[in-house]
Amino acid sequence: MAFLGLGAALFGAGTFLAVAADVVIGLGASIGLSYAAQALAGKPQQPSSPAQHFAAQIRLQADGALPRSFPIGKTCLGGQLVYFNTWGNDGETPNAYYTRVTKLSDLPIKSLDGVWINGEKCTLGSDTGTGMGLPVLEYRKDGVDHLWIKFYDGTQTVADSFLTSKVSSAARPYESTRVGVGCAYVIATALIDDTLYAGRVPEFKYEVSGIRLYDPTRDSTNGGSGSHRYSDPSTWGGDGDDYPIVQAYNIMRGIRYAGTWVYGLQRATQATLPATNWNAQIAKCRSTIQGAGGMEPTYRAGGVVTVSVQTADTLDMLMTACQGKMSEVGGWYKVHCGAPDSATFEFTDGDVLSSEDQTATPFLTLDASINGITGSFPNPEQGWNPDSAPPLYATPLESRDGNRRLLATPSFDLVPYAAQVQRLMKSALEAARRERSHSLVLPPPFWSVEPGDVCSWTSARNGYDGKLFTVTAKTDCANNDTGLVIQEVDPADYSWNYETDYRPGTSGPTGFPRPEPQGIRMWAAEGVSIIDADGYKRRPGIRLSWDGDMPGVTGVRYKVRRKNDASPVTSGNTLELSAGALIITHSLLPDNQYEVAGQYIPSAPRDMLWSDWIEVATPDVKFSVLDFDAAIKAQITTIQQQVQDFVHATEALIASVAANQDARNWLDKTSVRTQMTARAGVLSATITNVQTVAADATAALASSVESLSVAVGKNTGAITVTQEAVASLTEGIGLSYGVKLDVNGYAVGFQLLNGGADTGSTTFTTDYFQIVTPGQSPKKPFIVSGDTVVLDADNILLNGSVKATKLDVAQLSAINANLGDVRAGTLKSPNDKWDQNLNNGTLIISD
């Protein structure tokens, strides 16, 4: 049997150790305590790794230097940010989508079991074929999905096509090489909506089932029953993935991916982990017991293993989840969890060597005594945040301890199960008050005893009748005697009655607080006439009204549609809430039937309901002669603005590509330049031609600029012909052809633009515009002087071309004309001296 000194502990203070022969056995050698037991003994373990984190890691991490990690069992992860981008349009809104890629594990995992968004457990719907994944039903608004989740378990072999095609951009590319081999990750995509996300990017947490593990109890070649084979990871996985002893077994054998070691020990074999021992302890974990939701396994564990954390620390936390302890004897590793096993040997006072030193401790000192326990654990019911289990007090012991409440506060970081935490607390507290311990020496027949073994001692001297003890330390003496340190145990400490022992914790709701959608109050509409300063009715309108005294509201939105076909007419909003009313006239026609709806604008992001559509008719108020000039001007201005907008769009497209060609990083570009020059004294002539073709990932350009210039002294003249053709993946095609004649800075010419349908234009810069018919004198159809355009009526308007059908006015005044035949209608004299109804007749008026 190997002799290990205290300084040679492989797993630190949380394990059994065989004590060297030259070490005096004493009560201080009780080193085989789990983390919880050490806390109960007043000696909580200090982690050997400063960055040690075992509980659910629910915060998003973005540090590129983070160590690799992987989940075991069921746990919750915020993950590690590896990529994000904004992209795409929602109608006219650019960059309307936000996509985030979050790595959950550096090893393949079993499944994604749940999603928490902004502190709320959410529900995933069915894939709708968008490529973005499964829609989140809580973020479906008015039948439109706003949030999607897509999960890869780490077995993927290609990069996600949605990321490489739609989300990737030139500024933030996502290449096809980003497969994430062996890494489990999640893609979250949000259509930004302030009312849904409270004006911020959503926060995500992901419930997962961790890596698949080898379970020796499922291997018929390793003392178990089943198809698991350690040499074939494809056979791994099952309920054992959640058991701390199975998790510890895999760490002892070493966690590997594709044959490469990742974490844990590297040389332990099946022989060094005896199946008889390990399989029996796994069976303890698997045995069922009454829990909060019915029958459940006695011991489960779940959390995150970070490869920078020492293996010993991870094993200690796993032992905490099952009241377990580990020992190493002669290169063999054994484990013991939960209630003590049956006694493997027994002895009496006659077996104890009286020639050797013995010690007995009937009770603990006050500073080592514990009469109460509180524990914290990651609570799934509280969004996996740390929660405190109901404290447990041994009230009768407080008086014995001098009316003191002596509390231990262990942390069950790997136990996200409320009932299991309370079972662990109860058994730990009761076991901690088993204060009797002895150190003694037994003869050579007891040489095979190992740390962790349970013995039965019948002692008349101590009043023991088959009292159970567990071996916490052992010394192999030179004469083959065996020195032991034993601590009293009682299987009754691990009894559990759910009905009487379990106490529900105090918790609150975790759902995202969504106020009920609010409707608009006292919504009404009526048709009105807009009256000018002289009292004339000039325009039809609609007066909207509402309750303007509403807290949490800043304004009102409205929309108008035609009644007959429900086609939209106009919409808008007002922030003058307290006014309680608004008159609208935009796009309204006289004597028409409309429907209007209204909605409050909230002061903070939340859902508001649109009102029902209500009917309203506009009054029959038409344009009069007062509006004639203004109406024509408005119509012309509107048309001019539309044309100008089209021209500007094409000019902007050409300018964005052609004008900045030298600054762009073209993938392919070719230019040819030629120039001829002649000089004689102060006279010179030059012809220059520059031709360019270029293309990159988003645009292509073809241009030709030809310039003919002459000079005599300081006087210059130049003819420039510019041809440009550009193509853009996002903006389409734009063509430009221009000619400019410039003498000493005074330029005339024209430009042709074509950007597709409704975007063509021809612009002339000149003093006079003439049209010449062959053989005839030049005609000037119109003259432009400043902002005035004068038509040549003799040449443009044919006789008889201006008809009354072109005049549609309520009144026509100030006509000074010799009226010939007047057909139909009624004529009145200015001073009512006559009033004649014309009935297809002729009225001749003369002086």
The answer to whether residues 693 and 778 belong to one domain is yes
Question: Domain ends where: 162, 189, 209?
Answer: 209
* Contact between residue 136 and residue 122 where contact means Cβ atoms under 8 Å apart: yes
Handedness of CA 249, 255, 256, 261 (dihedral sign): negative
Would you state the pLDDT for residue 60? 66
- CATH code, domain carrying 561: 2.60.40.10
Q: Return the minimum-mean-pLDDT range out of 618-622, 659-663, 777-781.
A: 659-663
The pLDDT of residue 23: 32
| Helix axis angle, 275-286 to 244-253, nearest 10° | 150
* 151, 185: one domain: yes
pLDDT at site 597: 97
Residue 648, pLDDT score: 74
pLDDT recorded at residue 343: 95
Whole-angstrom Cα distance, residue 498 to residue 217? 28
467 with 534, same domain: the answer is no
Write down the pLDDT at residue 834.
47
Show the tokens assigned to 404. 């003191």
Dihedral pair phi/psi, residue 543, rounded to 5°:
-100, 120
Position 846 in a domain: no
Residue 20 confidence (pLDDT): 29
Q: Identify whether residues 472 and 534 lie together within a single domain.
A: no
Confidence of residue 329 (pLDDT cuts 50, 70, 90): confident
Q: Sorting pLDDT into bands at 50, 70 and 90, what band is 145?
A: very high
Of residues 800 and 405, the one with the higher pLDDT is 405
Q: Rg of the chain over CA atoms, in angstroms?
A: 45
Indicate the residue among 750, 773, 796 that finishes a domain.
796
φ, ψ for residue 210, nearest 5 deg: -75, -155
| Range name among 46-50, 455-459, 559-563 with the lowest pLDDT average | 46-50
Q: What are 585's two structure tokens?
A: 């006239």
Mean pLDDT, range 24-35, rounded to an integer? 35
**439 beta partners:** 359, 485
Q: What pLDDT sits at residue 6?
A: 22
669 & 783 share domain = yes
Res 795: pLDDT:
59
Within a domain: residue 510?
Answer: no
Q: What is residue 163's predicted lDDT score, i.e. its pLDDT?
A: 97
> What does the DSSP 8-state code read for residue 750?
E
Encode pLDDT of 665-680 as tens digits: 777 788 888 889 988 8
Q: Determine if residue 534 is left, alpha or beta; phi over 0 gives left, psi from -120 to 50 gives alpha, anything else beta.
A: alpha
Average of per-residue pLDDT across 416-432: 91
Per-residue confidence band for 841, with pLDDT thresholds at 50, 70 and 90 = very low
Q: Considering only residues 713 and 364, tell me which one the structure prediction assigns the higher pLDDT.
A: 713
The pLDDT of residue 104 is 96
Confidence band, pLDDT 50/70/90 cuts, at residue 408: confident
Q: Give the percent of the chain with pLDDT over 70.
A: 79
Q: Report the C-alpha gap between 427 and 417 in whole angstroms.
A: 16
Q: CA-CA distance, 115 to 771, in Å (whole number)? A: 74
Least confident of 165-174, 213-222, 399-408, 491-500: 399-408
Pick the most confident of 497-511, 688-702, 775-789. Answer: 688-702
For the chain, the average pLDDT equals 82
Asked whether residue 844 is assigned to any structural domain, the reply reads no
Lowest mean pLDDT among 168-182, 391-405, 425-439, 793-807: 793-807
- CA dihedral (66, 72, 74, 77) in degrees, to 10, reads 0
Query: 138 with 257, same domain?
Result: no
CA distances 690 to 657, 668, 697, 706, 740, Å, are: 17, 17, 24, 7, 16
Question: Is the pLDDT at 43 greater than 90, yes or no?
Answer: no
- Is the domain of 322 the same as that of 413? no
Three-class secondary structure assignment of 710-741: EEECCEEEEEEEEEEEEEECCCEEEEEEEEEE
For residue 842, tell me if it sits in a domain: no
At residue 42 the predicted structure's pLDDT band, cuts being 50, 70 and 90, is: very low
pLDDT band at residue 610 under the 50/70/90 scheme: very high
pLDDT on residue 404: 83
In this prediction, residue 470 has a pLDDT band, given cuts at 50, 70 and 90, of: very high
Task: Tell me 774's DSSP state.
Answer: T
* Confidence label for 731 from pLDDT (cuts 50, 70 and 90): confident
Q: Mean pLDDT lowest for which of 254-258, 375-379, 686-690, 780-784?
A: 780-784
Do 79 and 186 fall within a single domain?
yes
360 and 406 share one domain = yes
pLDDT average, residue stretch 738-753: 88
Q: Is residue 511 part of a domain?
A: no
Residues 350 and 483 in one domain: yes
Mean predicted confidence (pLDDT) in 729-745 = 88
> What's phi and psi for 635, nearest 5 deg?
-65, -45
What are 203's two structure tokens? 């926060």
pLDDT confidence tier of residue 351, bands split at 50, 70 and 90: very high
Report the amino acid identity of residue 302: G
For the stretch 186-230, pLDDT in tens is 999 998 876 666 556 788 999 999 999 999 999 999 999 999 999
Q: Which has the higher per-residue pLDDT, 444 or 200?
A: 444
Lowest mean pLDDT among 269-283, 349-363, 606-620, 771-785: 771-785
One domain for residues 482 and 360? yes
Distance CA 329, CA 351 (A): 24
Residue 199 is predicted with a pLDDT of 57
- Among the listed ranges 9-18, 496-505, 547-556, which one has the minimum average pLDDT value? 9-18
Q: Identify the residue with better confidence: 301 or 361.
A: 301
pLDDT band at 802 (very low <50, low <70, confident <90, very high): low
Q: Which of 35-39, 278-282, 541-545, 741-745 has the lowest mean pLDDT?
A: 35-39
Distances (CA, A) of 778 to 614, 748, 792: 62, 19, 13
- 832 vs 298, higher pLDDT: 298
Q: Residue 743: inside a domain, yes or no?
A: yes
Query: What is the model's pLDDT at position 50?
Result: 36
Cα separation, 150 vs 127, in Å, equals 9
User: Is 658 a member of any domain?
Assistant: no
Q: Regarding predicted confidence, which is higher, 168 or 28?
A: 168
What one-character-per-residue DSSP string does 547-600 give?
----TTEEEEEEEEEETTT--EEEEEEES-GGG-EEEE-TT--TT-EEEEEEEE
Give the pLDDT confidence score for residue 844 in this predicted structure. Answer: 46
Final residue belonging to a domain, choices 334, 350, 370:
334
- At 10 the pLDDT is 24
Give residue 146's domain range. Answer: 74-209
Whether the per-residue pLDDT at 451 is higher than 80: the answer is: yes
705 is a domain residue? yes
Residue 88 shares a structural domain with residue 193: yes
pLDDT at 607: 81
- Quick one: which of 491, 494, 495, 449 has its CA closest to 472? 449
Parallel, antiparallel, or unpaired: how do β-strands 407-408 and 372-373 relate? parallel
> What's the pLDDT score for residue 626?
60
Domain tally for the chain?
5
Confidence label for 833 from pLDDT (cuts 50, 70 and 90) = very low
